[in-house]
Chain A
Amino acid sequence: MKILVGIKRVVDYNVRIRVLSDGSGVDTDGVKMSVNPFDEIALEEALRIRDAGNAEEVIVVSAGGDECQQQLRTGLAMGADRAIQIQTSADLQPLSTARAFLKIIEREDPGLVLLGKQAIDDDNSQTAQMLAALWDRPQATFASKLELDGQSATVTREVDAGLETIEVDLPAVISVDLRLNEPRFVKLPDIMKAKRKPLDVIPLEELGVAAEGNLEVGHYAPPPQREKGIMVEDAAQLVEELKNRGLI
């Protein structure tokens, strides 16, 4: 079985985000970029499944400009077997990304597709769901535990009410949550090994997918600065303070 893992290049989670002065986006000039942390968790899970003998190959795929090859190389250094870049200069919206991924699925015929539950830049949380619908296969989102059993997978999901366990037939799309695993560190020799692993570049047009979108970005703005909090002595004072602020 092959496992396909989606990877997105995002501003590193440690970086303090700066919005461009004209509100057209965030400053990425000289800013550290990384693999979306949820995607790293998806990749880690795929590698563990492979290393346990339940899959033969792990393929990482990313859509973007050539700079996203850096993140694909990181994926290869973590242990993926090969990488595919869907080459486009456009900032793809979830639907286009899902359509492009579907084309890769048609080429590669994976038994499992693992994606992060959302990317930490735009927090859309849509690609996995759309992809499953387009592919017409089962989906399990926000996985915090994953067990494969031949032709099906048992997935524990983190939902508002607590944990929910479902079973899906494979092939399926599974999006992963924070607590699924702790991704491994990349070691330096792995970076050199990764250079020799294949990385295919496929232009978006070649897949017959258009970079169109149904979302329009108005403008970006930093969140308002949080006011300094106060320490309260007890519950009574807490209620009092909330009342004073007209919050209850």
Chain B
Amino acid sequence: MPDKETTSFMRSLCMGQIEQEVLFPFPALTADQKETLHEIASAVDDLLVPRAEDFRHWDVAGEMPADFIEELSQFGLFGLIIPEAYGGMGLSNMSYSRTLQQVGRHDASVAVTIGAHSSIGMRGLLLLGTEEQKQRYMPGLATGERIAAFCLTEAGAGSDAAAIKTTAEKQDDHWLLNGSKLWITNGGIANFFTVFARTKQEDGSGKMTAFIVTSDMQGVSIGPHEDKMGLRASSTTTVLLDNVKVPPENVLGEPGKGFKVAMQILNSGRTGLGGGSVGGMKHLIELATAQANERKTFGEPISSYGLIKEKVGRMVVDCYTSEAVVTMVGGLIDAGYKEYAVEAAISKVYATECLWRSADEALQIAGGNGYMREYPYERIVRDSRINRIFEGTNEILRLFIALTAMNDVACQLQELASTMKDVFNDPIKGFGVLSDYAREHATLRTGLGGSAKLQDLDEAIAPQAETFETETRYLAQAADRILRKHGKNIIGKQFATKRLAEIMIDLFVLASTLSRVQTSIECNGVEAASREIDILRVFTREARARMKQNFRRIDNNDDELLKALADDAFEVERFRWDTI
């Protein structure tokens, strides 16, 4: 078995290793979990279906009434991931993600209110809180008596989270917090805040520390409700900290380790957002198919036309593959893997972009109706736009995905370089190192490595498995090549990094989908899984073309031309050419 503390499927993949056991078989819910989820889904539907009209009004009004939030609390939606011992539901990551899917089908504002509480607001407490802290806060957080918010972003620190200016000064028996946090989801309804602030270390350096701040502390105040493009009914505000005295027992995790705490929370919370996105796609497929069957042009329902079928077919592929990836990441976390940050980032990028495309295409299918506020499409488009921005912009996540992998490759090369010194001191040990190196690189070049094969897959999906294997070899070679070419300067090479990230995203989605389809074939037979195999075929062919293109462009591209055009535009800050 792979070591769950250190193994990451994607990070190994970038070095040419396929850790098949990590992804196969596809993670499945137990019969008991499934039954519970059926009941949860049914109860969620019963609660939210009658509210459809209200959701529309609250979007226009830009606010959810307090008594509805009270209803959500009573219903138990704030206790999803809190262990049963503290009065919550104790759902696994997969079950949590599936539950948010169900909520997301009805209303994104509700999903994000619940998600901001569980995925990030109180997750730090769950992951790193002391027993005493959990005893103090968990029961209230489970019932919704306490609602949580995650306070990292500031006016000058979004993607660049390390640049926060909020300070925490150690005084006699407390910390003194000062600063202001921006765009805090649940800000207006929360009374439990996970706040990140800069603390002065003994050595004078400023490091980040996470604190639990509650609204009853003197000096905590909330700004006005932000007027947003989408998710309008969810609360987003500033949170101001003016000489807030926080007791030392409210430090979350170790002082000075706040940045790591923030990343841990965000990584582990990404399944929530992915789940919400998949739920949105399922809802869009229902809307779009009903609309296309009903709407007639030229005497025929538009569902009979190829260009409509193309859109709906792609929505199905996007939804199935997104669900494969999101479920896979939830499964990895539930199985106890610790190194899932790259995979989680991929699932967030992929699922949010699929949802965006589905929302856009569903609106297109609805035509002029889609543009009218009477119909749900424009609201879904507005609601889903933020997904590509918050909880890590998709651009930053792409850089993160590729740079993490490249760092591994670099470490490996470095290790090799340092052990090379020993070659002359210890010929026997040195010989071993040398031959490992030679073998690995021969493997990458010739592609004959035994470890770079998927084993025991059904022959019905053999061509797709082969595509995965082939492109994996190219990936390892490309990572190696990019690194040799740019060395440390890779940090500044965002075009190249992005291409590598795109390839990694396609490969992880492909691997997760292969796993999902393979497991379906094993359970139900090839015939029953034939549509799923079709989905895999469509996805693989398109992903392969994209990957080929991205590989080609690593060396052969117009990056410099594009950059020059951009730099010129930055200089004049306008479009240079006009026809008059």
User: CA–CA, A195 to B89, complex, Å?
Assistant: 12
User: CA–CA, A109 to B18, complex, Å?
Assistant: 63
Interface bits B54-90 vs A (CB < 8 Å: 1, else 0): 0000000000000000000011110110001001111
Which residues of A have CB within 8 Å of B49? 14
User: CA–CA, A32 to B41, complex, Å?
Assistant: 10
Given contacts A14-B49, A32-B45, contact A189 B38 (CB under 8 A): no
B35 sits at the interface (CB 8 A): yes
- How many B residues have CB within 8 A of the partner chain? 23
Give chain B interface residues in 14-72, CB to chain A under 8 Å. Answer: 32, 35-36, 38-40, 42-43, 45-47, 49
Give chain A interface residues in 44-76, CB to chain B under 8 Å. Answer: 69-70, 73-74
User: CA–CA, A188 to B77, complex, Å?
Assistant: 7
User: CA–CA, A14 to B87, complex, Å?
Assistant: 32
User: CA–CA, A190 to B39, complex, Å?
Assistant: 10
Which residues of A have CB within 8 Å of B89? 188-189, 191-192
Interface bits A185-221 vs B (CB < 8 Å: 1, else 0): 1111111101100000000000000000000000000
* Interface size range on A against B: 10 to 19
Tell me the smallest distance from the CB of A127 to a CB of chain B, in Å. Answer: 24
Given contacts A185-B75, A188-B77, contact A34 B87 (CB under 8 A): no
A77 sits at the interface (CB 8 A): yes
Contact B42 A192 (CB under 8 A): no
Contact B84 A192 (CB under 8 A): yes
Contact A186 B45 (CB under 8 A): no
Name the prevailing secondary structure of the B interface residues: helix
Given contacts A69-B35, A70-B38, A195-B36, contact A189 B43 (CB under 8 A): no
Most B CB within 10 A of own CB, among A188, A189, A195: A188
Contact B40 A191 (CB under 8 A): yes
Contact B47 A73 (CB under 8 A): no
User: CA–CA, A232 to B163, complex, Å?
Assistant: 71
Residue of B43, B45, B47, B77 touching A191 (CB-CB under 8 A):
B43
Give chain B interface residues in 459-491, CB to chain A under 8 Å. Answer: none
Which residues of A have CB within 8 Å of B87? 189
Which residues of B have CB within 8 Å of A32? 42, 45
Contact A188 B42 (CB under 8 A): no
Which residues of A have CB within 8 Å of B77? 188
Quick one: closest B residue to A190, CB to CB? Answer: B76
Contact B35 A189 (CB under 8 A): no
Given contacts A70-B35, A195-B36, contact A188 B43 (CB under 8 A): yes
Total A-B contacts with CB atoms under 8 angstroms apart: 52
Quick one: closest A residue to B76, CB to CB? Answer: A188
Tell me the smallest distance from the CB of B88 to a CB of chain A, in Å. Answer: 8
Which residues of A have CB within 8 Å of B80? 188
Contact A188 B35 (CB under 8 A): no
Which residues of B have CB within 8 Å of A194? 39
Contact B43 A186 (CB under 8 A): yes
User: CA–CA, A74 to B42, complex, Å?
Assistant: 9
Given contacts A14-B49, A185-B47, A186-B46, contact A191 B75 (CB under 8 A): no
Which residues of A have CB within 8 Å of B79? 188-189
Tell me the smallest distance from the CB of A106 to a CB of chain B, in Å. Answer: 30
Contact A189 B76 (CB under 8 A): yes
Tell me the smallest distance from the CB of B280 to a CB of chain A, in Å. Answer: 19
Which residues of B have CB within 8 Å of A186? 39, 42-43, 46
Tell me the smallest distance from the CB of B24 to a CB of chain A, in Å. Answer: 25
Which residues of A have CB within 8 Å of B84? 192
Contact A188 B90 (CB under 8 A): no
Residue of B45, B75, B90 touching A192 (CB-CB under 8 A):
B90
Tell me the smallest distance from the CB of A7 to a CB of chain B, in Å. Answer: 14
Interface bits B445-458 vs A (CB < 8 Å: 1, else 0): 00000000000000
Tell me the smallest distance from the CB of B32 to a CB of chain A, in Å. Answer: 8
Give chain A interface residues in 1-48, CB to chain B under 8 Å. Answer: 14, 32, 34
User: CA–CA, A186 to B39, complex, Å?
Assistant: 9
Which residues of B have CB within 8 Å of A34? 42
Given contacts A14-B49, A185-B47, A192-B89, contact A77 B39 (CB under 8 A): yes
Quick one: closest B residue to A74, CB to CB? Answer: B39
Which residues of A have CB within 8 Å of B39? 70, 73-74, 77, 186, 191, 194
User: CA–CA, A191 to B43, complex, Å?
Assistant: 9
Tell me the smallest distance from the CB of B177 to a CB of chain A, in Å. Answer: 34
Tell me the smallest distance from the CB of A130 to a CB of chain B, in Å. Answer: 30
Quick one: closest A residue to B77, CB to CB? Answer: A188
Given contacts A14-B49, A34-B42, contact A187 B74 (CB under 8 A): yes
User: CA–CA, A189 to B82, complex, Å?
Assistant: 11
Most A CB within 10 A of own CB, among B42, B46, B87: B42
Tell me the smallest distance from the CB of B316 to a CB of chain A, in Å. Answer: 14
Contact B43 A185 (CB under 8 A): yes
Which residues of A have CB within 8 Å of B43? 77, 185-188, 191
Quick one: closest A residue to B44, CB to CB? Answer: A188
Contact A187 B42 (CB under 8 A): no
Most A CB within 10 A of own CB, among B39, B40, B46, B80: B39
User: CA–CA, A32 to B44, complex, Å?
Assistant: 13
Residue of A70, A74, A187, A195 touching B75 (CB-CB under 8 A):
A187
User: CA–CA, A244 to B80, complex, Å?
Assistant: 61
Contact A188 B40 (CB under 8 A): yes
Which residues of B have CB within 8 Å of A190? 76
Quick one: closest B residue to A191, CB to CB? Answer: B39
Which residues of B have CB within 8 Å of A192? 36, 84, 89-90
User: CA–CA, A204 to B467, complex, Å?
Assistant: 53
Which residues of B have CB within 8 Å of A187? 43, 74-76
Interface bits A154-196 vs B (CB < 8 Å: 1, else 0): 0000000000000000000000000000000111111110110
Contact B36 A191 (CB under 8 A): yes
Which residues of B have CB within 8 Å of A189? 76, 79, 87-89
Which residues of A have CB within 8 Å of B42? 32, 34, 74, 186
Which residues of B have CB within 8 Å of A14? 49
Known: A185-B75, A189-B89. 6 other contacts (CB 8 A): A70-B39, A73-B39, A74-B42, A186-B39, A189-B88, A190-B76
29 A–B contacts, CB within 8 A, in A order: A32-B45, A34-B42, A70-B35, A70-B38, A70-B39, A73-B35, A74-B39, A74-B42, A185-B43, A185-B46, A185-B75, A186-B39, A187-B43, A187-B74, A187-B75, A187-B76, A188-B40, A188-B75, A188-B77, A188-B79, A188-B89, A189-B76, A189-B87, A189-B88, A191-B40, A191-B89, A192-B84, A192-B89, A192-B90
Chain B residues close to A by CB (< 8 Å): 32, 35-36, 38-40, 42-43, 45-47, 49, 74-77, 79-80, 84, 87-90
Chain A residues close to B by CB (< 8 Å): 14, 32, 34, 69-70, 73-74, 77, 185-192, 194-195
Q: Shortest 9 CB-CB distances between A and B: which pairs?
A: A188-B76, A186-B43, A189-B76, A191-B39, A187-B76, A187-B75, A70-B38, A192-B89, A188-B89
